[in-house]
Structure 1
Amino acid sequence: MSTLENASAVLQLFSRQLSGQSNSGLSFSDVVEHLKLPKSTASRLLMTMESQGLLERDPDSRSYHIGKLILSVASHYLSAPLVDIASPFMAQLGQLTQCTGYISMLTGRDIMVMRMFPGRTYLQVVTPAGSLLPAHETAIGRAILARYTDENVILRFGTDYRVKSLNSPQTLEALLARLAPIRESGVSHACNETLQGISTLATSITNKHRNELLGLCLSFPSPQEGQDIPAGIKEGLLAVTQQLAEKLGDEYWQ
């Protein structure tokens, strides 16, 4: 692989590490083992990435962490105006409902987590900012996709529709059928899809003046079979969404 491809592979290792809820950094041996690189190649690669601000090295543990250059770019990217407007609302909602809150945006066929707001209910697994998840396999992704026409959704996925979760729409036709009621109610629901034991409710909001479209989501432990979603979650999410819609002139919620 080229130096650029190797550098990209190193950065992808950090993404996998975040998914596992670890923030201990990467060691030299981690890079050699996972990328199957000769030690000399790995050493030159890591030194170059460090010198260019892509990585930083902890002086005590000698492990590598994401560098200031990438953090600076990520901070700018994750601070879209609509994200900043919605963040205080979602932070407060997370505390009131005890749920973990998320703000995400659509990028291609995936959603990217822009913000995560921990609630008071402990969830063993959370999805950190910057994570990418299949839009069609998440409540928040479907809440955003419902803003588009069926024709747009078909073009977006083409003939390459793939699903990992058994609880997600298994075909493109099933996805379109799932989007129809979301367009009516504005609320999207997922149960045990991306993560077993986790349910989510989601809505979407747009700032038409800046052509920004985001999804808002609350995540909580899945209710036992036959039980309803805990009181206050749906009501709270709708209240926040409608507040933002009024503030931004989002006619979808009028």
Structure 2
Amino acid sequence: MSSLENGIRILQCFSAERSELRVSEVAEHLGLPKSTVSRLMKTLAESGLIEPDPKRRGYGPGILAFELGNYFQKRLKLLDLVDEALSRLVDEYHATGYIGVLNGADIVLIRVRQGSYPVRLVLEPGYRGQAFATTIGRVLMARLPDAEVRALHPDPLSHPEAEYETDIDSLLSDLANIRRDGVAATFNTNFSGFCAIGCAVESADEPQAVAFSLSFPTSAADDEIIKRMKKSMLVEACEIGRRVKDKYWQEFRSVPEFDSKIVAVDGTRYTGRIGSIP
């Protein structure tokens, strides 16, 4: 493996949960000699992609990485349209809003809007999660051919933290439903006790599809609230899609009437009627 490939692997070790890394932990994680990792991290630091932290004897993201991230976001004019739509949805439903993109078999959050609901799960921009277990990941994968989705995922699929498991055939069946309905809902698949509803849009002029979602406690919304959320998100996605010439949304004819019982991705039915989002 080339030095360039190993350098990329080192950069991929950074995440929202691991914003600072030491040579020893990177070497152990990647299975590389400490001398190799030390040399490559010094080279990355000289370029500005990472920078040393003498106090903690490690490295964090550098100014060049920050600048590249900003350039990436500026390229996506679509992102501003999605951000405006998500702001309206968060104001209306008080749930936490997320915007993310697909990266291989994972999703990466790039913007977060905090809701005002008292109980909420707030993840930071840069959070990386398994796409199959998230609403954002599912609506984005629904835009891929089944063969590509199958190639990205081993079978069976497992998310131990949420105690959620599925298989590739069930996932592909769920993605077919998302393509039909334009919207996805997941319950207790990424974090136990939380659910999310989301849509994805793609500009004819930009290379990256973007997804947005609302997240809230499973116990906080009844079926009617969830149906309203789905319809509101579809309206926003349709409007954005028409503006950016997204072929899928240009051909999307109507907002479907959803069954009064919302079917979760694991096949169980959500029947909670404890309360509603104020």
TM-score interval, normalised by the smaller of the two chains: 0.7 to 0.9
SS of the residue 1:78 aligns to: helix
CA-atom RMSD in angstroms: 3.5
State whether structure 2 residue 80 is matched by structure 1 residue 87: no
Kindly state the Cα deviation for residue 229 of structure 1 after the two structures are TM-superposed: 7.0
Moved more, 154-163 or 174-183: 154-163
The structure-2 alpha-carbon separation of the partners of 1:153 and 1:133, relative to structure 1 and needing over 3 Å to count, comes to: farther
State whether structure 2 residue 126 is matched by structure 1 residue 123: no
The 5 A counterparts of 1:1-254 are: 4=4, 7-8=7-8, 10-15=10-15, 18-19=16-17, 25-26=20-21, 30-33=22-25, 35-36=27-28, 44-57=39-52, 64-79=59-74, 80-121=76-117, 123-129=120-126, 131-148=127-144, 152-158=145-151, 160-165=154-159, 167=164, 170-210=166-206, 213-223=209-219, 227-228=222-223, 230=225, 233-249=229-245, 250-254=249-253
The structure-2 alpha-carbon separation of the partners of 1:247 and 1:215, relative to structure 1 and needing over 3 Å to count, comes to: same
Kindly state the Cα deviation for residue 208 of structure 1 after the two structures are TM-superposed: 3.2
SS of the residue 2:14 aligns to: helix
Conserved 8 A contact 1:167-1:191: no
The structure-2 alpha-carbon separation of the partners of 1:41 and 1:133, relative to structure 1 and needing over 3 Å to count, comes to: closer
SS of the residue 1:200 aligns to: strand
Conserved 8 A contact 1:109-1:157: no
Q: Which runs of 5+ in 2 are unaligned?
A: 254-278
Letter of the 2:100 partner, please give it.
Answer: S
Tell me how far apart the structure 2 counterparts of residues 184 and 107 of structure 1 sit (CA, whole Å). 23
SS of the residue 2:234 aligns to: helix
Conserved 8 A contact 1:189-1:199: yes
SS of the residue 2:219 aligns to: coil
Q: Which runs of 5+ in 1 are unaligned?
A: none
Moved more, 60-69 or 88-97: 60-69
The structure-2 alpha-carbon separation of the partners of 1:114 and 1:39, relative to structure 1 and needing over 3 Å to count, comes to: closer
Scaled by the length of structure 2, the TM-score of the pair is: 0.69
| Equivalent residue pairs, number | 240
Tell me how far apart the structure 2 counterparts of residues 40 and 180 of structure 1 sit (CA, whole Å). 48
Conserved 8 A contact 2:96-2:113: yes
Kindly state the Cα deviation for residue 182 of structure 1 after the two structures are TM-superposed: 2.2
Conserved 8 A contact 1:108-1:156: no
Kindly state the Cα deviation for residue 73 of structure 1 after the two structures are TM-superposed: 1.7
SS of the residue 1:142 aligns to: helix
